[in-house]
Amino acid sequence: MNGAPPAGGGGHAVVRVRSAVAALVAAAVLGLVTGRFVLPPPPGGVDGSVPASSSSSASASASPTDAPDASATPGAPGPVTTENLLEPTAFRPEVPVGRIHVTDRYGDGFYANSACTGEKTLTQTLGVPGAHFRGLTTSLRTDPDDPTWATDKVDQVAREVVAEAPSPSLAQDFTERLLQEQVTCQKQPPGHWVYGRTTTVRFAPDVTASWMGTYEGLLNTTGRAPEVEEPCGGVAVLRNGSHYGVLEVHTCLGTAAMDRVVRTALSRL
């Protein structure tokens, strides 16, 4: 055979069409068998509280190395869901994953604005209708009014609040306002707990996080956090495009662990 098509070629054209259709059908069947065709996740998020569950979730937190490419990836658009929140694996190895329970809810509530700034709800601060709240605790005993809070503070690993703003520019405005609240706690009378200096993480121009470590009152001898001591947890304000949030880490993480957790939270947001 020399490979040249016969004159007219009508019969071969029909065969080619039938072969192409057969190939598409076979590919579709193969996709269903191998699971390569995946339905998109449902839009929207959680409505109301979700009972606390153990941390044996199949989904793992994205690592800092999975962060968006700063040169190519725009900030996240679209609705925020529970998929944008931290998983227990983010706190490994400092906290065994099997000890952490997750509770989610959607609505309004107090976030990580501490007593030194005057506690308010997210609606009172930003005028937004609601957000996703996630509590990560080492106990199933939680506040009946807000199940994302552990009854005993010592059982609280972390708490995260995330939401979507109408636009990236408004998300930036929200994060600046939320961060300014936290910065107020960087200077407190000696003996009072205090936040340390602000560390900024930037994956892209509109994918950023700012976090501060927490220092107990015994370490605050000058009205500010000591530079030579390690923090014990801390707070972060995050933004990814139109998504924004606040993460409060209660478990005692040092500088390296806090930076890792914040980067993981930012890569998920």
pLDDT (tens digit per residue) in 5-40:
333 444 443 333 334 334 333 333 333 333 322 223
Mean pLDDT for 218-245 is: 96
Least Cα distance to 123 among 134, 133, 102, 108 occurs for 108
State how far the alpha carbon of 147 is from the alpha carbons of 48, 88, 136, 234, in Å.
Answer: 11, 17, 10, 21
Mean pLDDT for 147-152 is: 95
Name which of 3-7, 39-43, 231-235 the model is least confident about.
39-43
Mean pLDDT for 133-151 is: 96
Helices (H) and strands (E) in the chain, counts: 4, 11
Of residues 180 and 54, more confidence is placed in: 180
Cα separation, 5 vs 254, whole angstroms = 72
| Residue 21 pLDDT | 35
Cα separation, 212 vs 195, whole angstroms = 6
Q: What are phi and psi of 53, to 5 degrees?
A: -135, 160
Q: What percentage of the chain has pLDDT greater than the value 90?
A: 61
| Residue 13 pLDDT | 39
pLDDT (tens digit per residue) in 69-99:
333 346 888 899 999 999 999 999 999 999 9
pLDDT band at 113 (very low <50, low <70, confident <90, very high): low
Name which of 32-46, 112-126, 223-237, 253-267 the model is least confident about.
32-46
pLDDT band at 58 (very low <50, low <70, confident <90, very high): very low
Of residues 136 and 55, more confidence is placed in: 136
pLDDT band at 66 (very low <50, low <70, confident <90, very high): very low
Cα separation, 237 vs 233, whole angstroms = 14
| Residue 246 pLDDT | 96
State how far the alpha carbon of 165 is from the alpha carbons of 3, 97, 240, 244, in Å.
Answer: 61, 32, 10, 7
| Residue 68 pLDDT | 39
Q: Does the pLDDT value for residue 67 go beyond 90?
A: no
| Residue 57 pLDDT | 35
Contact, 112 vs 104, CB < 8 A?
no
pTM attached to this predicted model = 0.73
| Residue 112 pLDDT | 76
Cα angle for residues 88, 94, 98 (degrees, 5° grid): 45
Q: What are phi and psi of 65, to 5 degrees?
A: -75, -15
| Residue 118 pLDDT | 67
